[in-house]
A and B are shown apart, each in its own frame.
Chain A
């Protein structure tokens, strides 16, 4: 037996080598692509729009279903199923006409009744999306649906861009998630929970035929994804900055701009040090975001100045430069002074050296704690870098990791490193608008009636363009707002670029600015991807 041992091992070796060689070749199938996503991207409740598929914190196009509207590459609104939409004078009724001749994958026609059914079901079931503004949806005829609202909601088209339409006749909440029937570009062929989902082109799709006929989605942790790329088992895989300096034969790095921001909340009440607006402004002015991008993201990111950088409702008023001298002035004016011995060392108006000592006010040291969610190394590094930078200002900042079980509560008094970035202005509302019940904004104590009024007005507006302008004014109107010139209840740090390993020869179509979440966004337009011949 021993004599054959070498033969066996040789055989095994050649087999291994053979496999390795084979998988390294680009997929022979020119109409298929394999994409790796993080396990968190796998929809827990299945592919059911009523239970959050496509919507929620990590918004993306549902692919398997079609939506009434879509967001264009510049994040304005375009049409998918809808052909026209009108809002009533009092902003309380939206009338949408839908296109004819659309079929679900089970062969039935998609009518206004299905649309109304979907919206009413989502209103009743959805825990992920907010549908409290919808009173009821009503199908007037086969192609016209009317949404009756409980309150004015000018950005309803953005909500319509996330909710996929399901068939009224065959919809069963218990089964739909794993065997979805839609009218989207793709249909679900197979789903192995915890491993993969396989999509194939929908032959009955009303729009342009997808160029990629088969999309394999694999769910893997980041290091496994990298190994899969190295082994040539994927065509596109998500990755992050720590891996970006690696090189993989046959793959290149794709970096996509995002509004996937990281920022810290500065509680306006409940935290003695931060309750002073001048201190908050000093922190905003004293954070060198470019340095942070280099340090923490290896350059794969951009400075963030608001929660919505680059979106139609972004205001340039938010974009104020890094200015350590201004920061120092704010702190001095708030009464936080450097110790005497250091004051003399620093030439007037100059950036002081690293060991400038700490600032004091009435014998109390300028101190704050910064929290980050445990296990998120990027946010941990951002917190550390922010603490270092605040140290340069003379603020003693400590960093502590917290679990999400307590993070929301602790953030009400202590700054936390958050991640936001959605394709709807509603995010501004969620972060800055006063909650009726608590009298303060939801995630971090803050209340400004003027800001609230602008946002309420923006929601009541019948014209989207005008609404954009009001959303911008809400952030800063020249007197007050949420920017550094205003109350500055949040400081935005960076937008994290989404990085992907892409196999050479795969043409990934132009990406619209990615929202928070590093998963499905990239395949929003997978139907337009193609392989170089």
Chain B
């Protein structure tokens, strides 16, 4: 069974990575196409030429969906990386130094976790002037605590481990201990956390944009697309919401699955199952 799971996990990871790349590329290539309005082809239902149909300004929904996803993935990648980095630094520092540093970091974690995510994202995004950087800042600043807490716990546990204390007694420098003992142990948690951060970030980006506090409306983003489609549902233009929504769900599920599998594989408790 193990071989099978390894293989399917690898497959999922490659698929996710490939999709990431493909979408990033597509976003760059289709950007023009997604913005082009052509009123002679407005409100077309899905057809061979426009697989996802067109909207009320004759924009190609397939191109818009792909560019939107690509934008979401860029926001996702950036925020996942940034928030994971914050989590790693704060979590490690908190556990390593203890004392007032630990108190401060724990307080920060509780502070951020105590406010509903979406509310905080809206606030930060507004404060940073909305747009790409507003959303990125908002999602980044709200998504680090869970992972930071995890890292902190892990490091605390490692600190007490006999082999690590032994190594310190033997006079190993701090840097070496960090490199050789702590970081390798943290890696599985960290990687899994990083990948699981992804779907969260994407959904929150879409969510905050849908609510009108994120990306600007002329930018082809999934949140914008879904928000716009709302006004046309009553007139029966189902394709405006369905395909972009499905695409978003697919991408999110893919990354969630990949992260989950990776966790099972890397975690010592389940790696040998």
Contacts and interface: CB of A to CB of B under 8 A. Distances in A.
Contact of A384 (B57, B228, B235): B57
Nearest to B227: A375
A400 B131 CA distance: 12
B39 A296 contact: yes
A381 B39 CA distance: 9
A13 interface: no
B56 A401 contact: no
Interface in A293-315: 294-296
A242 interface: yes
A222 interface: yes
A401 B231 contact: no
A295 B231 contact: no
A295 B232 contact: no
Contacts of A377: 56, 228, 231
A246 interface: yes
Contacts of B38: 388
Interface in A231-247: 242-243, 246
A388 B56 contact: no
A380 B231 contact: no
Given A296-B39, A381-B57, A384-B37, A400 B216 contact: yes
A200 to B, nearest CB: 32
Interface string A218-238: 000011001100000000000
B37 A400 contact: no
Contact of A223 (B217, B228, B233): B233
**Which secondary structure dominates chain B's binding surface?**
loop
B235 A380 contact: no
Interface string A377-390: 10011001101100
B233 A399 contact: no
Interface string B14-45: 00000000000000000000000111101000
Interface residues of B, number: 19
A223 B234 contact: yes
B218 A399 contact: yes
A374 interface: yes
Interface in B48-75: 56-57
A388 B39 CA distance: 10
B235 A226 contact: yes
Given A296-B39, A377-B56, A384-B57, A226 B217 contact: no
B178 to A, nearest CB: 48
B217 A242 contact: no
Contacts of B228: 377
B125 to A, nearest CB: 14
A384 B34 CA distance: 13
Interface in B207-245: 212, 216-218, 228, 230-236
A384 B228 CA distance: 15
A137 to B, nearest CB: 45
B37 A388 contact: yes
B230 to A, nearest CB: 8
A375 B217 contact: yes
Contact of B217 (A243, A294, A296, A401): A401
B37 A246 contact: no
Contacts of A387: 37
25 contacts: A223-B230, A223-B233, A223-B234, A226-B235, A242-B56, A242-B231, A242-B235, A243-B234, A243-B235, A294-B39, A295-B39, A374-B216, A375-B212, A377-B56, A377-B228, A380-B57, A380-B218, A381-B37, A381-B39, A381-B56, A384-B37, A384-B57, A385-B39, A401-B216, A401-B217
9 A-B pairs with least C-beta separation: A295-B39, A223-B234, A384-B37, A401-B217, A226-B234, A381-B57, A401-B218, A384-B57, A374-B217
Interface of B: 37-40, 42, 56-57, 212, 216-218, 228, 230-236
